[in-house]
């Protein structure tokens, strides 16, 4: 059995169910540094141009485990109410790979001490699946008859409110749901499901700008409105709602250290996923580097040493903005 079958087997065992339940979009520990990936309304919120690249290697030592890379760039325009941005995301799991390109537009409305942004994005994803990489128990399984290479256009929407010490957002980056296979004669479906994200965070000065406490949470859901689906197969999507809760400290507007916890959120049974630690360093030039480590709290800890993320970014005009109005988010 090759790597993809190994990953599926491990996940199935760990989930404790007879079939796999999982979210399809990539997960990130340092989600606050590539928020544009899941919410187009974030575009321009830094009040200057910002670029960031993030690399995630999940479940070190497990062959075929997820590998994800993202690149985001966004900026406000001269018309301060408009923000634009773009993102590239490459996600590879076993024999499947998804490469996506998106452009984002946000219109920002001053409200009180902050701004409410309404965002839209449009883009396209290339989905590929090479089933020849699998060792199948049944070589004649019709579900794996044909390799897939599809271009899937999509669009998303979101809202995002932010002030100096608070932010909240809600979004769905891909509103169109696709069957990921063509010309397959089987009752088993492979569908790209719609994902929803809710984010909330704050910045609490403990010693002015010298020490700031920053709690945040990101909630991810699949199938929020699945009960309205016309096809009975999609009325009850099995993926649990997942949340990431993060507690961090920002020292002297330079060193940012955080701890986070990821878990599923279910009424009957909730499963712990990982405990995480991360660090980020802001340089006076505007350069930002960071790293994160996830320790699994499931049976996966028996076969992997955890997951890693590396991040590098640049805040254009960072020195000036740091003096005038520090950006916490």
State the DSSP string of 217-256.
EEEEEE-TTGGG-SSGGGSS--PPEEEEEEEEEEETTTEE
Residue 140 lies in a domain: yes
Distance separating alpha carbons of residues 162 and 322, to the nearest angstrom: 17
First to last CA, the chain: 44
CATH of the domain at 161: 2.40.160.40
DSSP 8-class letter at 303 = T
Residue 75 scores a pLDDT above 60: yes
Q: Is residue 191 part of a domain?
A: yes
Of 69-73, 85-89, 149-153, 223-227, least confident by mean pLDDT is 223-227
Which of 305 and 1 is assigned the larger pLDDT? 305
Residue showing tokens 């997820």? 66
Q: Tens digits of per-residue pLDDT, 274-326?
A: 999 999 999 988 899 999 999 999 888 889 989 999 999 998 875 454 444 45
168 neighbors 161 (Cβ within 8 angstroms): yes
pLDDT in tens, 234-272: 555 667 789 999 999 999 989 999 999 999 876 566 578
Is residue 151 a part of any domain in this protein? yes
What per-residue confidence (pLDDT) applies to 226? 54
Q: CB–CB of 84/104 below 8 Å?
A: yes
Domain membership flag for residue 290: yes
Q: Is residue 329 part of a domain?
A: no
DSSP state letters, 13-42: HHHTSSS-----S---TTGGGSGGGT-GGG
* Helices vs strands, H then E, count in the chain: 2, 17
Length of the chain: 329
Neighbours of 90 (CB within 10 A): 16
Is 321 in a helix, a strand, or coil?
Answer: helix
Residue 273 lies in a domain: yes
The mean pLDDT of the chain is 83
Could you give the angle at the alpha carbon of 215 between the alpha carbons of 210 and 217, nearest 5°?
150
Angle at Cα 314 formed by Cα 77 and Cα 166, nearest 5°? 70
In sequence order, what are the beta bridge partners of 71?
53, 88
**91, β-bridge pairs:** 68, 98
Q: pTM higher than 0.75, yes or no? A: yes
> What pLDDT is stored for residue 41 in this prediction?
97
Domain assignment present for residue 82? The answer is: yes
The pLDDT tens digits of the residues spanning 181-211 come to 666 555 556 677 889 999 999 999 999 889 9
Residue pLDDT, tens place only, 78-110: 888 999 999 999 999 989 999 999 999 999 999
* Residue 8: inside a domain: yes
**Number of folded domains in the chain?**
1
Distance CA 110, CA 124 (A): 31
- For 226-237, write each residue's pLDDT tens digit: 555 555 555 556
Look at residue 184 and give its three-state secondary structure: coil
Q: How confident is the model over 166-183, as pLDDT tens digits? A: 999 999 999 998 877 666
Domain, as residue range, for 260: 3-324
- 59 vs 327: CA distance, rounded Å: 33
pLDDT at 273 over 90: no
Average pLDDT over residues 24-48: 91
């Amino acid at each position: 059995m090759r790597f993809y079958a190994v990953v599926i087997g491990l996940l199935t065992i760990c989930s404790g169910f007879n079939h796999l339940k999982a979210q399809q979009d990539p997960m990130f520990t340092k989600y606050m540094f590539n928020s544009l990936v899941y919410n187009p309304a974030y575009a321009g919120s830094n009040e200057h141009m910002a670029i960031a690249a993030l690399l995630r290697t999940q479940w070190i030592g497990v062959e075929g485990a997820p590998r994800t890379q993202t690149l985001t760039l966004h900026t406000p325009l001269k018309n301060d109410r408009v923000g634009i941005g773009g993102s590239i995301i490459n996600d590879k799991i076993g024999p499947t790979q998804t490469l996506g390109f998106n452009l984002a537009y946000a219109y920002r409305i001053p409200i009180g001490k902050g701004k409410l942004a309404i965002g839209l994005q449009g883009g396209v994803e290339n989905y590929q699946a090479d089933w020849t990489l699998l060792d199948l128990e049944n070589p004649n399984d019709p579900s794996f008859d044909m390799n897939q290479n599809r271009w899937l256009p999509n669009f998303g929407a979101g809202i995002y409110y932010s002030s100096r010490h608070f932010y909240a957002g809600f979004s769905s980056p891909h509103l169109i749901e696709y069957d990921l296979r063509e010309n397959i004669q089987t009752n088993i479906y492979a569908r790209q499901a719609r994902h929803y994200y809710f984010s909330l965070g704050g910045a609490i000065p403990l010693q002015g700008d010298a020490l700031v406490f920053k709690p945040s949470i990101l909630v991810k859901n699949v199938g929020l409105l699945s009960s309205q689906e016309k096809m009975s197969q999609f009325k009850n999507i099995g993926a649990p709602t997942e949340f990431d809760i993060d507690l961090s400290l920002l020292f002297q507007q330079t060193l940012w250290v955080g701890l986070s916890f990821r878990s599923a959120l279910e009424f009957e049974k909730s499963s712990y996923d990982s405990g995480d630690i991360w660090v980020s360093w802001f340089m006076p030039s505007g350069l930002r580097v960071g790293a994160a480590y996830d320790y699994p709290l499931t049976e996966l800890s028996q076969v992997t040493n955890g997951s890693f993320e590396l991040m590098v970014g640049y805040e254009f005009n960072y020195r000036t903005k740091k003096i005038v109005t520090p950006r916490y988010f």
